[in-house]
Amino acid sequence: MKEKKRRRIFILSAVILLAGIVFWKYQQNQKMEAEALTLKEDLKIEFGQKAKVSDFIEHLNGTLVNDTQIDTETLGEKTILLEYKNWKNKTRTTEFTIQVVDHNPPQIFSGDSYTVNVGFDKKLEDVLLSGDDEDDNPTREILGQYDVQTIGDYPLTYRVTDSSGNQAKKDFVLHVKEKSQKKNEKVKTMAIQEIFEKYKTPENKIGIDVSKWQEEIDWQAVKNAGIEFAMLRIGYQTEYDGECLLDPCFIANIEGAKAVGIPVGIYFYSYAKNVEQAQKQAEWVKEQLGNYEIDLPIAFDWENWNSFNQAGMSFYTINKVANSFLDTVEKAGYKGMLYSSKVYLEQIWYPCEYEIWLAQYNTKVTYEGDYAIWQMSESGKVDGIKNNVDIDIMY
């Protein structure tokens, strides 16, 4: 009897011990499970900033199944799905919420003064260049009193506010003056021979870019003058939301240049204000190019900065627009290129993966970024072209 009692006590003790061990292991597993993943305390990210799921993980005892890119193109809360394998190689799924925020104020590019003629008929808010990283339509205001019908100097403040409440202000003086009766000053031209003497090296090529403004061109004379490449305008958009038109001289230019062996690239002058328009324009360019083979890139030329405020674009959007055009061009088998001047490359265009065609009318380049072509003058004189022509140097 005592033996049976001892045996029951022993078995009960063993069961209790085993249950304790199981419970302890369960607690340990739960603890390890809880400690397997720790998120960072700050789950906020700036609008447009590139980020992956892993950027929000402080600690992970295991491996991520897929470290996906996070969409930061809209402000507000965003639920992120996180899938990982724990230390036992078991798949676990959880969710967490981040906040996409915008703390960057708009940018204003006007100077300390702005001059208009009496009777100026545009809104100052529309012509003083400004914009925001995120907001396509920030609120633009001129603070102060002025009268464009009366000559005088008016101290004003330009204020721009984005949808997140960030503000930028710029004090300036508006000068209202009588319309100048100045005669047009004669533009100093640069003979192509002078360009070759000053800038030609074994590492570069001297070229031109042309459109209908150069009218009919004698391409054999251009070739004989030493021109080594040409960028041709294939077409242009008439205005915002306008149609795409073929440059009237494009066919003659591409056939004439190719007939004498001058390598060519092309460019398109755009008013695109969203990615869909830019993509359609790139496809239009491809259709117009048809069976013509080109040796150099297709450049995207967006330079309507005097009316940028009316386009309804943030700086983030204009960069997406350019990339949409150039991505479509590259998918079609061509090389893409962004055309712009120094000031806008430095202040508005983001660094991109495409080559740069830099416009800077100067005796030397002061732009510090990378570029493949330098448009160094708009007043070149080349045999075979009766009007002034842009001169380019390709490296």
Q: Which of 64-78, 160-174, 206-220, 289-303 has the lowest mean pLDDT?
A: 64-78
Identify the CA nearest to 172 among candidates 122, 108, 120, 123.
Answer: 108
Same domain, 266 and 364: yes
Same domain, 314 and 215: yes
Domain assignment of residue 45, yes or no? yes
Contacting residues for 355 by C-beta, under 8 A, at least 6 apart: 297, 335, 336, 337, 338, 370, 371, 372, 373
Same domain, 224 and 275: yes
Same domain, 246 and 154: no
Sole residue written with tokens 């980020």: 51
The model carries a pTM of 0.86
Q: What are phi and psi of 126, to 5 degrees?
A: -85, -25
Domain assignment of residue 25, yes or no? no
Using CA atoms in the order 67, 73, 74, 77, what is the torsion angle rounded to 10 degrees? Answer: 20
Q: Of the candidates 136, 155, 177, which is a domain's last residue? A: 177
What's the total number of domains in the chain? 3
Q: Judging by beta carbons within 10 Å of its beta carbon (0-12, 13-18, 19+), is residue 143 exposed, middle or buried?
A: exposed
Domain assignment of residue 124, yes or no? yes
Same domain, 139 and 207: no
Task: Sheet containing 152-161: give its strands across.
Answer: 113-117, 167-177, 152-161, 139-143
Band (pLDDT 50/70/90 cuts) for residue 185 is: low
Q: Judging by beta carbons within 10 Å of its beta carbon (0-12, 13-18, 19+), is residue 47 exposed, middle or buried?
A: buried
- Looking at residue 381, what is its pLDDT? 97
Same domain, 49 and 75: yes
Same domain, 91 and 169: no
Q: Are 261 and 314 in contact (CB under 8 A)?
A: no
Same domain, 122 and 214: no
Domain assignment of residue 48, yes or no? yes
Please state, for a pLDDT cut of 70, what percent of the chain lies above it. Answer: 91
Q: Of the candidates 146, 177, 208, which is a domain's last residue? A: 177
Q: Of the candidates 123, 144, 177, which is a domain's last residue? A: 177
CATH code (residue 90): 2.60.40
Contacting residues for 380 by C-beta, under 8 A, at least 6 apart: 189, 190, 191, 192, 195, 208, 388, 389, 390, 391
Band (pLDDT 50/70/90 cuts) for residue 187 is: confident
Q: What is the pLDDT of residues 79-109, one digit of tens each?
A: 999 899 987 888 999 999 999 999 999 999 9
Band (pLDDT 50/70/90 cuts) for residue 362 is: very high
With 60 as the cut, is the pLDDT of residue 353 above it? yes
Q: What is the pLDDT of residues 43-85, one digit of tens each?
A: 999 999 999 999 999 999 889 998 999 999 999 999 999 899 9
Same domain, 165 and 301: no
- Looking at residue 9, what is its pLDDT? 67
Q: What is the pLDDT of residues 240-291, one digit of tens each?
A: 999 999 999 999 999 999 999 999 999 999 999 999 999 999 999 999 999 9
Domain assignment of residue 4, yes or no? no
- Looking at residue 88, what is its pLDDT? 83
Band (pLDDT 50/70/90 cuts) for residue 295 is: very high
Q: Tell me the C-alpha distance between 219 and 385, whole Å.
A: 8
CATH code (residue 322): 3.20.20.80
Q: Calculate mean pLDDT across residues 116-123.
A: 95
Domain assignment of residue 6, yes or no? no
- Looking at residue 25, what is its pLDDT? 55
Same domain, 122 and 73: no
Please state, for a pLDDT cut of 90, what percent of the chain lies above it. Answer: 82
Q: Calculate mean pLDDT across residues 146-161.
A: 98
Structure tokens belonging to residue 22: 């199981």
For residue 231, give the 3-state DSSP assignment.
Answer: strand
- Looking at residue 179, what is its pLDDT? 87
Domain assignment of residue 359, yes or no? yes
Same domain, 202 and 165: no
Band (pLDDT 50/70/90 cuts) for residue 191 is: very high
Domain assignment of residue 329, yes or no? yes
CATH code (residue 121): 2.60.40.10
- Looking at residue 89, what is its pLDDT? 87
Same domain, 162 and 208: no
Q: Are 64 and 54 in contact (CB under 8 A)?
A: yes
- Looking at residue 348, what is its pLDDT? 96
Q: Are 359 and 316 in contact (CB under 8 A)?
A: no
For residue 257, give the 3-state DSSP assignment.
Answer: helix
Q: Calculate mean pLDDT across residues 357-383.
A: 97
Q: Which domain holds residue 151?
A: 107-177
- Looking at residue 35, what is its pLDDT? 63
How does strand 63-64 pair with strand 57-60?
Answer: unpaired
With 90 as the cut, is the pLDDT of residue 30 above it? no
